[in-house]
Structure formats: C-alpha cells, structure tokens
Amino acid sequence: MKKRALISVSDKTGILEFAKELLTTGFEIISTGGTKKALEEAGIATLGIEEVTGFPEMMDGRVKTLHPLIHGGLLGRRDLQTHLDAMTEHGITPIDVVVVNLYPFKETISKTDVTEADAIENIDIGGPSMLRSAAKNFAAVTVLVDPADYQQVAMELKTEGETTLATRKALAAKVFRHTAAYDALIAGYLTELVDETQPEKLTLTYDLKQSLRYGENSHQQAAFYQDALPVTYSIAAAKQLHGKELSYNNIKDADAALRIAREFDEPAVVALKHMNPCGIGTAATIEEAYDFAYDADPVSIFGGILVANREIDLATAEKMHKLFLEIIIAPAFAPEAFEVLSAKKNLRLMTLDFSEKNQTTASEKVSVLGGLLVQDQDVIKETPQAWQVVTKRQPTAEELTALAFAWKAVKHVKSNAIVLANHHQTVGIGAGQMNRVGSVKIAIQQAEAADKMAGAVLASDAFFPMGDSVTYAAEHGIKAIIQPGGSIKDQQSIEAADEAGIAMVFTDVRHFRH
C-alpha cells in the first residue's frame, strides 16, 4: 500500500516542489480546493478529498475534511492492534504526512476595512483540526505547517524512507504553537469585538523577531518577540539601516525614548539613558532641538540613545557624530547625514514611521514572579485649559508654556520624578528616589551646576506629601510648579507656595512610572 500525504495550504510557497518530492518517494497525495487545482495544473496527480470520504465538499467549503475517514487516518495508532482492526473494519487508510497551513485570519483582520463577516469566514476549522490530530499522533505522522521545514522532511524521506521520531516530535510541537497562536488571534479579535476588557483568560501571541546575545547582563539569556499584530509606531517596527545588532537594554531604552518622542508634534529630540531621559529639546528645527537636548545634560548623553521626530539633516548629523551614541532613531536620514553617521560602524541608525505615533491604544504588560500585570498605556489626553491654579500668584504665559513642556516630560521619568524645564528644554531631572524631596534636590543640583535655574519651572509626577519640596524649590529660585494635587496635605504645599510667591498648577492627573 502506498503511503498517503494530505496537502491543503493557503500559503503555497514551495508546495509544488515538495509535492513532487513526495511523489518520487512513493506517496499518493490527497488534496482539496485551490491546492488540488494548483497541484494538478503543475502536473501532480492528486486524490480529491471527496474521493476519499465519499462525501462532497459543502457549505462553501466549511465542511470537507471533518470526516472519520480523514481523522481516523490521522489519529489511528499503528502500534495498537485494536486501532488497526478498526481502521480495517471501516476502510480507513492511514495518512502519514500532513501539510496544512491555515486561512489567513491574521492578514484579514489586519486590513483597515475588514468586516466582521470577512473575519469570521477566515476562521479555519478543518485545518487546525487536521493539524492537531496529526500532531497528537506524531509517533507515526509527520505534520508540517511551515514551508521552511519542507526541505528537511524531503531529505529524510529520500535518504531514510521516513522521518525520524525526533523530527516528527519537533514538528508536532511547532504545530501546537502555531494553532495556539492562531486561536489566540481569534480569541483576541472576538474579545475586542464584544468589548470585554478583563477576560477570565488572557491569550497572547508574539512572533520571534530576534535572538539576543544576552539580556540585561551577560549571564542572562534573552530574545525579542514582536506582537503578532505589529504596532506601526514601535521599536519592533523600526527599520535598522546600519550598525550592530540591538541588545536587550538597547531595546528597552529605545522603547522608553519613543514613548517620550510621541508627546511632541513640534521638532523634538529625546536623549535617554537607562530608561530615563537625560535631555529633551524642542525648537523650530531639528538641529536646534538637538542642541537643546544635548545642552540639557552634555555628560549623561554620552553612550545614550537619541530619538528625533524629524529627518536628520547634515548639520545635525555632524554634531551627533562628535559623540559616542548607541542608537539614533528618526523618520529618515538625509543621504549626506547618513554618510556622516554611518562612518561609525557600531552606531545603530534606525528609521520609523512617526505618522502613526498617536495610534497606540494597546495595553502594556509587565511580568512579575508568577504572573503578569496588564494596564492601559498612559496616553491620557490632557488639556491645559482644565488645569487649576491653586495659588495667589498666576503663572505667566511663558511659565505656562514651560509647565506644559515639563509635564509632558515628567510622565516618562521613573517615580519619584521631578523635572525642571524652561519652554524648550529640560534642565534638571530627578528620578527614582525613595522620597520626593530627594528627587527635587537632584534636579535642582543638576540645573544649578549647569547655571540653568533662571526661569526654570518644576513638574512633579505625583502630589507633594508635605510642603518640604515646595520650600526647597522656592529657596533655589523656582517660581512655578505643576503637580497633580490630591494629597491630604495639599494645603501645606499651597501655603508654602503662596509664602514664596510661587504659582502652582494642579492637573488632577498622576503620572507614576515604576
């Protein structure tokens, strides 16, 4: 008896060549629909599924392979006599090789104009059922879902007459990963469709984008996975034009910098080190924005990451070239700018579509021991018109502009977070301290050391638990503060501000970033 292979694929990459290899090694081929047509047009003889089942395809192809003569051939154990007897009694022929890939559900729901009806019709039922049946019986059945595996299987069949158990087991594991990911996309689509925000089961799927040399430290293994439904404005979607591979820490830092850059519509440059900005600058041109970002902290920018939201021109590139930088991300690089920057062989130069920066609405996920935290991204739309001045002194127009700038920046600094800024650049940043006044002192010390306190305003990511931070800021010349408010001791801060002649604005929105 000839061995049988069942082929039914949406992605027909390499399938004609593989089918010919199966024929030369003694297989007869069962096929369906478009696959059968493609094979026969290439001169490859096949059996139609209805010839095996004695039952026609129906319901627009929804019912064709869900039949005992198919699944019995896939699931029947060759090492159990009772299974063999049942197969003989019911005229079931074993199926030894299964080549199936699925309806393009992911591609369908990725279309901007997809309808619910189109999405539902592209949920494959028969394909996953055959794959799962064949994979369960890997002791006897070779199952392929990825064209990349055709060559190895063809070689084993040609040289050994069958595949090895190790190969079949590895392919079965791959199949279950594939069907699990496929089902996760369906579950995610339908869950979103019914507006379920906290389902009892969280089904996620990601695709391997890059194996990393190591993680945060050299003794930690690591890999980079991309969302199965890619997000356009993300480090995962950035195109690398030059330089060595990204590291784990590069990816984390680049992600943090991109989150900051999307806050600004005007030309802006973000310089970042160790998950915190060390300088943010905005201006009429990207060169001037870079000047401000660099000037904000010319020491910490060394070895940092830059994100610019405009094309990098030659003048800006020549300034950047003077520094040791890890990564520069921008919408584009002028040819002459790329030539200058690419002279540094290890500098990563990357481009990204900034036009989609406001499209991100997906939740963010953080692993903890034994679990996963899920929350909405902090992309709340705030309007300065809704802010409340709680002090006797009103901020000037220039101070309001600076406060708005500082407020955009402080939400991306690790808590406890304090940012000092003028209307176009950060001048002092205090991050991650265990008490808020500690962050205030660090930010002010930085600004004073650079002689940048004149006209600086202060932003705090959360409320002041007492008046000490306001008092310290006042002693060092701060005249305007922005903070969420909401402390039971707000009045202490207000009174301290009034006593010092400081204008204080409450936003009623907190921006912790742990």
CA distance 357 to 166: 45
**What does each C-alpha distance from 422 to 166, 397, 401, 429 come to in angstroms?**
64, 12, 8, 12
At 459, is the secondary structure helix, strand, or coil? strand
**What does each C-alpha distance from 224 to 139, 208, 212, 394, 487 come to in angstroms?**
32, 6, 7, 49, 40
**What does each C-alpha distance from 216 to 49, 253, 328, 348, 445 come to in angstroms?**
53, 11, 20, 18, 30
CA distance 301 to 294: 7
Q: CA gyration radius for the chain?
A: 30
The residues, ordered by sequence, that sit 6+ positions from 68 with a Cβ below 8 Å of its Cβ are 90, 92
* The pairing of beta strand 3-8 with beta strand 276-282: unpaired
Instruction: Please count the other Cβ atoms lying within 10 Å of the Cβ belonging to residue 323.
Output: 16
Exactly one of 12, 136, 321, 423 is catalytic; name it: 136
At 279, is the secondary structure helix, strand, or coil? strand
Structure tokens at 409: 């920046």
CA distance 220 to 470: 43
Residue with tokens 């591609």: 107
- Whether 274 is catalytic: yes
Strands, sheet with 325-330, edge to edge from the N-terminal-most edge strand: 239-242, 348-351, 325-330, 304-308, 268-273, 276-282
Structure tokens at 11: 């992605």
Contact 225, 206 (CB under 8 A): yes
DSSP 58: B
Exactly one of 274, 321, 344, 423 is catalytic; name it: 274
CA distance 401 to 379: 20
The residues, ordered by sequence, that sit 6+ positions from 38 with a Cβ below 8 Å of its Cβ are 12, 15, 16
315 burial (CB, 10 Å; 0-12 / 13-18 / 19+) is: middle
Contact 445, 475 (CB under 8 A): no
CA distance 28 to 34: 18
Residue with tokens 């009806």: 117
CA within 13 Å, CB half, 360 = 24
- Whether 365 is catalytic: no
At 368, is the secondary structure helix, strand, or coil? strand
**What does each C-alpha distance from 220 to 211, 217, 231, 365 come to in angstroms?**
12, 6, 27, 21
At 474, is the secondary structure helix, strand, or coil? helix
Positions marked catalytic: 136, 274
